Structure 1
């Protein structure tokens, strides 16, 4: 599974996830020259690269993601992580998502973590 995190994604979650999955294919916005890019640019880049976006930005990314879906554009998936959720629970949920599913299952979907 190919993942992308936005610039404000919790570093403790990233470090915990990488500790559990050392070979994880994950890049940060900062790593690919998209620091301070607008949401539509980030989603377009993610679609072109086939990467599922991990974000805490529930306020705006969701609207842009639905816009891409409604316009028939590729949208490999967005995982909205509630910023105040317990870090360990988020890591466990992301681990489950990564290990127990296929990337194409998230095409055109927006998920919210933590799982209930």
Structure 2
């Protein structure tokens, strides 16, 4: 399993807790953790960090993230992927999808894309 997730600072820590409870070998970091961008970091810098460290960003930022991704790609850069939480999605469904994605996806399957979860 080589998919790694960076959770946006606006997501509840319970996402990480539940992911790791169900899948202890999964790598799940949150904005603000040691070694990752601090809380308050602007999205373009977070995308660069995800690219440089090969983490898929998990966020609820539906409004501006498509613009930031387009700008990032226009600079000739790449991102391992962005997974945006759907409105009204239950945390259980999101956790199940994140575990499934990590288990069966190729490392570059979500590259340079925004996908919405649950799938």
The answer to whether the superposition gives a TM-score over 0.5 is yes
Equivalent residues of 2:37, 2:46 under 8 A apart: no
Number of residues of Structure 1 aligned to a counterpart in Structure 2: 115
Matches within 5 A, 1:1-116: 1-31=3-33, 32-115=36-119
Task: State the TM-score, normalizing by the size of structure 2.
Answer: 0.88
RMSD (CA atoms): 1.4
Runs of at least 5 residues in structure 2 that lack an aligned partner in the other structure: none
Structure with the higher helix share, 1 or 2 = 1
> Which of structure 1's runs of 4+ aligned residues deviate more than 6 A?
none
Q: Are the structure 2 counterparts of residues 104 and 19 from structure 1 closer, same or farther at C-alpha, using a change threshold of 3 Å? A: same
Equivalent residues of 1:80, 1:110 under 8 A apart: yes
Task: State the TM-score, normalizing by the size of structure 1.
Answer: 0.90
